[in-house]
Structure 1
Amino acid sequence: MKKSTTGLLIGSALVVGLSGCASSASQSSGQMSASSDRSWYQHPAVCGLAGGLIGGSIGYATSGNSDEENGAATGGAAGAAIGALLCADNTPEPVEPQCPSYGGEIPAGAAVDAEGCPLDSDNDGVPDYRDQCPGTPAGVSVDANGCPLDSDNDGVPDYRDQCPNTPAGVEVNSLGCPDSVVLQDVNFEFDSAQLTAEARNVLNDVAERLVNNPDVRVRIEGHTDSVGSAQYNMNLSQARAESVTEYLATRGVESNRMMAEGFGEEQPIATNETDAGRAENRRVELDEWN
């Protein structure tokens, strides 16, 4: 058999083998994360050696008798380089997420900050691009759509609702209450309009909801039991109602949104014949002022 024919046959066999290695390497590169996980025959060094033999064989076979060594050397060098390139690990480096802390896909066109994270203008934990209630006040609990929670589904969100446990289906006013609401535990020092410490704590919560409900005006109603003269009780109830409005004003509720009105002993809700009944009648109520 002639030299050229022998060289070409060896080269052809090695080409087929190298092609198989390169093909396997290409297929496995999408499945393996590191070159150390690849089969031995897919390693660039092995492919380079095979490529060198192929190139050298072809160079030898195609060179003249006087130039066999140079042809084999040139072909071997070229083959080794090509073989190594064919089996190189071309798996692309993993792309770092634009905003690692976000944990979700950011849609095209969404407004992002300098770190590539979606903007959340009201800091409620729901990014602007899917926030259906932008501008939620700081600290207000929201649902997955970024809207304030409304636990009793009465149309008045919890952070404004003075009656957060209204039964389902009951019509409410803008305070979230079916009617005027008794401010439980808003009590006074004996025979005075001085608020107790417990009363001030209760009114702090009332004031916060009123501040968050700026379009609502309210009437503060004072009531007493029947002990004492009617006129005395009327004056005391008025003073107590005014004491509540004054305290709410110190907590940020505008004075022009409130009206104080005393009813004395005129509107009892329980009997005045027992201690328990009289305690119920000594009360302050909050109602919408239209």
Structure 2
Amino acid sequence: MKKSTTGLLLGSALVVGLSGCASSAQQSSQGSAGASSDRSWYQHPAVCGLAGSVIGGSLGYATSGQSDEERNTAVGATAGAAIGGLLCADRTPEPVEAQCPSYGEVPAGVAVDAEGCPLDSDNDGVPDYRDQCPGTPAGVEVNAQGCPLDSDNDGVPDYRDQCPNTPAGAEVNALGCEEGVVLENVNFEFDSAQLTLNAREVLDDVAERLANNPGVRVRIEGHTDAVGSDQYNKDLSQRRAESVVSYMAQRGISSDRMMAVGYGEEQPIATNETDAGRAQNRRVELDEWN
């Protein structure tokens, strides 16, 4: 039998065998997610690559003359190995992630979006058909019912609450406070109404909560210690209160929602006989303005 005939017959037989392996491997990979670990030895890409090498080499040898049979055989073997490996490669599809959060069984008639997910108009992670507080502002943390968190259960949600740690059972105003609250660390440069950098950072948080509580008006109260004359201290406290109002206005709080009042040294909360007491008396308070 001629070389070409022998090579072609051998190559054809191996092609048929390799095709069967590849077909079986593909069916196995489509059968289940774990099929790739259950494949037969002859379906492994390395085995298929070896078979492909033999096939390619046989075909290269069969179709070459004496002068180029070695080169053609090598080229055919290399190409066959690559093709064989690809044919038997694991084509198990990657698991598809669910497009919707796990809402459980969705009742009939619930409105859904293009992906078939229940509508969540305020994007808080709680679908509309379960959401007891629709329209929650973006970024506000909510509970399982879709309502903003209220850590101290005072009826004022955390994102609006200027006093987030009110004792249980205490009556609070619209700011979430029992009464006026001292704005800790809202300080000024010495003998000045110039806010410190740290004071601005504190007021940024206050302004954010007020922005989320648009129906509330506030009174900004300035207080000083007893060093200096009564009138000087009252004027200084007024300028400091107005400085806070001005900064809050820059942060987006409407000026007609705020009132500045300077009390000077009239309402001390500690003794003026010590440095610590005087430091407590130099303060800014925030209260609801009815």
Normalising by the residue count of structure 1, what TM-score does the alignment of the two structures yield? 0.66
1:143-222 → structure 2 map (5 Å cutoff): 143-222=143-222
SS of 1:231's equivalent in the other structure is helix
1:247-288 deviations in Å (ceiling 9; x for gaps)? 111111111000000000110000111100000000000000
Tell me the equivalent position of 2:110.
110
1:1-150 → structure 2 map (5 Å cutoff): 100-103=99-102, 104-150=104-150
How many residues get paired?
197
Distance 1:138 1:246 in 2: 27
Please report the RMSD computed on the Cα atoms of aligned residues, expressed in angstroms.
1.8
CA contact (8 A) 2:113 2:119 kept: yes
Tell me the equivalent position of 1:244.
244
Distance 1:250 1:136 in 2: 25
Tell me the equivalent position of 1:268.
268
Tell me the equivalent position of 1:227.
227
Structure 2: which 5+ residue stretches go unaligned?
1-30, 33-95
SS of 2:129's equivalent in the other structure is helix
1:191-219 deviations in Å (ceiling 9; x for gaps)? 10000000000001100110001111000
Tell me the equivalent position of 2:279.
279
Distance 2:101 2:108 in 1: 15
Distance 1:101 1:217 in 2: 41
1:57-89 deviations in Å (ceiling 9; x for gaps)? xxxxxxxxxxxxxxxxxxxxxxxxxxxxxxxxx
SS of 2:228's equivalent in the other structure is coil
The Cα shift of 1:171 comes to 0.5
Tell me the equivalent position of 2:92.
none
Tell me the equivalent position of 2:82.
none
Distance 2:149 2:155 in 1: 10
Distance 2:257 2:231 in 1: 27
Distance 1:255 1:138 in 2: 25
Structure 1: which 5+ residue stretches go unaligned?
1-32, 35-96
The Cα shift of 1:109 comes to 1.2
Letter of the aligned partner of 1:230 in structure 2?
A: D
Distance 2:186 2:280 in 1: 11
The Cα shift of 1:100 comes to 4.2
The structure with the largest alpha-carbon Rg is 1
The Cα shift of 1:108 comes to 1.3
Aligned-residue identity in percent: 79
Distance 1:134 1:261 in 2: 38
Letter of the aligned partner of 1:101 in structure 2?
A: C
Flag as ranges the 4+ runs of structure 1 deviating above 3 A.
none
Normalising by the residue count of structure 2, what TM-score does the alignment of the two structures yield? 0.66
Distance 2:230 2:161 in 1: 34
